[in-house]
Amino acid sequence: MVNFNGVGGSTIMYTAHYPRLKPSDFRVKTLDGVADDWPIDYQTLEPFFAENDRMTGVSGLAGDPAYPPKQPPMPPIPMGKSGQRLAQAMNKLGWHWWPSDTSIATVDYEGRGRCLNLGHCTPGCAQGAKASTDITYWPAALRAGVELRTRARVCEITVDPNGMATGAVYYDEKGLKHFQPAEMVILACNGVGTPRLMLNSQSGKFPNGIANTSDQVGRNLMFHPYAFTYGYVDEPLDGNHGPPLCLWSHEFYETDKARDFVRGYIFQFGRGTGSIVEAITSTANGRLPWGEDHHKVYRSLLNRRIYLAAICEDLPEAHNRVTLDPAIKDSNGIPAPRIDYTVSDNSRRMMAHAHARATEVLKAAGAHTIAYDEVPNSGWHLLGTARMGTDPERSVVNGWGRCHDVKNLFIVDGSIWVTSGGVNPTSTIQALALYIADSIKKHLADGTLFE
Amino acid sequence: MKYPTLTDAEARDLRALAGEMIPASTTYNVPGADDDLIFADILRSLERDTADARTALAHLAKLAGGAFADLPADRRRAVAATFKQQGGAPLFALNRVVLLCYYRDDRVMRSLGQEPRPPFPKGHVVEQGDWSLLDPVKKRAPIWRRAD
Ligand SMILES: Cc1cc2nc3c(=O)[nH]c(=O)nc-3n(C[C@H](O)[C@H](O)[C@H](O)COP(=O)(O)OP(=O)(O)OC[C@H]3O[C@@H](n4cnc5c(N)ncnc54)[C@H](O)[C@@H]3O)c2cc1C
Ligand code: SF4
């Protein structure tokens, strides 16, 4: 599991690849007979995707045949030498490809400087070109009067005898316990943090955790099994100059009955790696020797790597779940989450397919020494553990993020996803959060918020 | 955070090992990883990896039957090869620090055609690329699946 705890959450250390879910992702049961349909659809989210693209600052190119029409506010990140080589290879194979939508500013945008091609997007952007929420939404929220309390660890959401949330109990940085009363509570701790907090919020009314009469809290945990393939070409390309992202391909996204798996995946193409990472990974893989030959071999690898990763759709399964660890606690004594997760046969077949296709495109790009890293339990997209639905017996929140059991408790993170799609999730998590906020506003206005 | 330092004997063995990992090369005009400046950087950068480094070096001394640094050159090479083959997490951690410090040395970076400077604030130039490559893709009908 990888996540970042701090203001901005894991957007501080995400890679900023920013595809949306697609219309078919919301109708998986209807179209393919697996999992469940979402209670909402792409059209419902469309205005919130657009608003989020504007708030976040998304770069990309309109006209992608893999999506309904959309207009990213900034031009795409450059293709570079690596992108061109990969694009030519995909044209040879007749595949779909397009410059990726990214949450990286390619021009100066709303007070943020444009990308300088530093190449260190994932661990953090010194230039502030990468849209992490500490520099996008938080300043706007603070200006609007939101009070941010940092270093607070919430251990419980409390309820009254009528089953309404009354507030949050938290520890401050000195370990002192506080109670913050509230008329309404909104959770945004993502696919592991949210069920952990809910399961930790036990009461007479909810002995198995708040809003958990369905026993769905913590279940259906989905990652995106990640099939990572790379190879080396015979000329230096971009290395780690520029964002590591460049292109995507949706060629294998939608279900194809001729394949031995349902659903599909996006390919996310990468430029290369930096000189130190190349040395470390190639030594670990046995490609880079010690001794006299080290220098010659290293020079044949440096800046010659190209890669792609398949983000495979993971289907929900009740046994993949977050529970509370019976023994491990954090430094405040709050029970830690425990993860039980098994990769499905469908995912394994999908990863094998992705690896075979990736090898094909790398060969078409002139790559040799092709290697494959399978990361089946890639724990950085955390989804599904408090899912949306219309049936209170099979889901935790309704179609606009309100808990079925607790009518003033809302969830706005990846835990409410019904299915995972085969794309990176953050664009859709954020659009969903805006949609839920808007729904709250509408229901507040017409007096139906807690009905 | 304060980390323990290696003993002199451990440091001598590590330096000898670093020289086996990446020796100096006249062909490429680069120092080895046992160079004064690079090795000082390695010692400074062990930090959280010090415990692993110690475990790895203890194993190395065991394979050498004493101080690795005192072995004759051909025997040293043979012991280093066995050590590498046996692998393990402590060796990986040690090797990572050696590579990290080696490839950030100014002389090494220059020999690779890199400017010895941090990427920020000057940044780098990445070519836009030929966007007309997209023409065949633009001609495709929508490939997203309708759900209504
Ligand atoms: C290395 C990496 C690369 C990634 N790359 C991409 C990418 O390219 N594209 C993409 O779309 N996504 C990517 N992701 C995923 C992306 O980061 C997440 O989808 C996104 O951050 C989710 O946002 P969130 O606000 O729902 O949750 P988070 O960002 O996880 O934020 C949750 C916040 O809640 C806090 N919290 C949790 N529990 C408590 C508690 N009990 N009390 C108080 N605070 C609490 C956490 O500290 C954290 O700050 C990546 C993630 C990682 C780790
Ligand atoms: S390439 Fe550099 S400037 Fe651009 S987003 Fe990434 S880290 Fe920031």
Q: What is the pLDDT of residues B43-60, one digit of tens each?
A: 999 999 999 999 999 999
Is residue B140 in a domain?
no
Whether A23 and B145 lie within 8 Å, measured CB to CB: yes
For ligand 2, the distance from its centroid to the CA atom of residue A114, given in whole angstroms, is 8
Q: Given this model, what pLDDT does residue A213 score?
A: 98
CB-nearest to B120 from A65, A66, A127 is A127
Q: What is the percent of chain A where pLDDT is above 70?
A: 100
Q: Given this model, what pLDDT does residue A376 score?
A: 66
In tens, the pLDDT along A11-32 reads 999 999 999 999 999 999 999 9
| pLDDT interval class at A377 (50, 70, 90) | low
Is residue B93 in a domain?
yes
B103 touches chain A (CB under 8 A): yes
- Are residues A267 and A308 in contact, defined by beta-carbon separation less than 8 angstroms? yes
Residue type, A367: A
* Whole-angstrom distance, CA of residue B73 vs CA of residue A375: 41
Whether A299 and B134 lie within 8 Å, measured CB to CB: no
Q: Given this model, what pLDDT does residue A435 score?
A: 98
Contacting residues for A367 by C-beta, under 8 A, at least 6 apart:
A230, A231, A232, A233, A306
For ligand 2, the distance from its centroid to the CA atom of residue A58, given in whole angstroms, is 13
- Average pLDDT value for residue range A371-393: 90
Among A426, A428, A434, the mutation site with the greatest number of ligand 1 atoms within 8 A of its Cβ is A426
pTM of the model: 0.95
In tens, the pLDDT along A152-161 reads 999 999 999 9
User: What is the number of domains present in chain B?
Assistant: 1
Q: What is the percent of chain A where pLDDT is above 90?
A: 93
For ligand 1, the distance from its centroid to the CA atom of residue A227, given in whole angstroms, is 21
Residues in a beta bridge with A442: none
Residues 114-143 of B with CB under 8 A from A: 114, 119-131, 133-134, 136-138, 140-143
Is residue B15 in a domain?
yes
Is residue B144 in a domain?
no
Cβ-based contacts of A31 with chain B (< 8 Å): 145, 147
Is residue B129 in a domain?
no
- Average pLDDT value for residue range A246-266: 97
* Whole-angstrom distance, CA of residue B53 vs CA of residue B105: 21
Is residue B98 in a domain?
yes
- Average pLDDT value for residue range A159-182: 98
Residues with pLDDT less than 50, chain B:
none
Whether B23 and A294 lie within 8 Å, measured CB to CB: yes
Cβ-based contacts of A65 with chain B (< 8 Å): 137-138, 140-144
| pLDDT interval class at A1 (50, 70, 90) | confident
For ligand 2, the distance from its centroid to the CA atom of residue B108, given in whole angstroms, is 25
Domain extent, residue B58, equals 8-116
Task: Indicate if the pLDDT at residue A109 is higher than 80.
Answer: yes
Cβ-based contacts of A27 with chain B (< 8 Å): 147
Q: Measure B102 CA to nearest chain A CA, in Å.
A: 9
| pLDDT interval class at A415 (50, 70, 90) | very high
- Average pLDDT value for residue range A214-227: 96
Average pLDDT over all residues of chain A: 96
Q: Given this model, what pLDDT does residue A246 score?
A: 85
Is residue B106 in a domain?
yes
Is residue B102 in a domain?
yes
B32 touches chain A (CB under 8 A): no
Q: Measure A283 CA to nearest chain B CA, in Å.
A: 8
Contacting residues for A9 by C-beta, under 8 A, at least 6 apart:
A3, A133, A190
Q: Given this model, what pLDDT does residue A259 score?
A: 98
Task: Indicate if the pLDDT at residue A78 is higher than 90.
Answer: yes
Q: Measure A445 CA to nearest chain B CA, in Å.
A: 30
In 3D space, the residue among A257, A192, A222, A260 whose CA is nearest the CA of residue A421 turns out to be: A222
Q: What is the ipTM of this complex?
A: 0.95
Residues 54-73 of B with CB under 8 A from A: none
Name which residue leads in pLDDT, A135 or B2.
A135
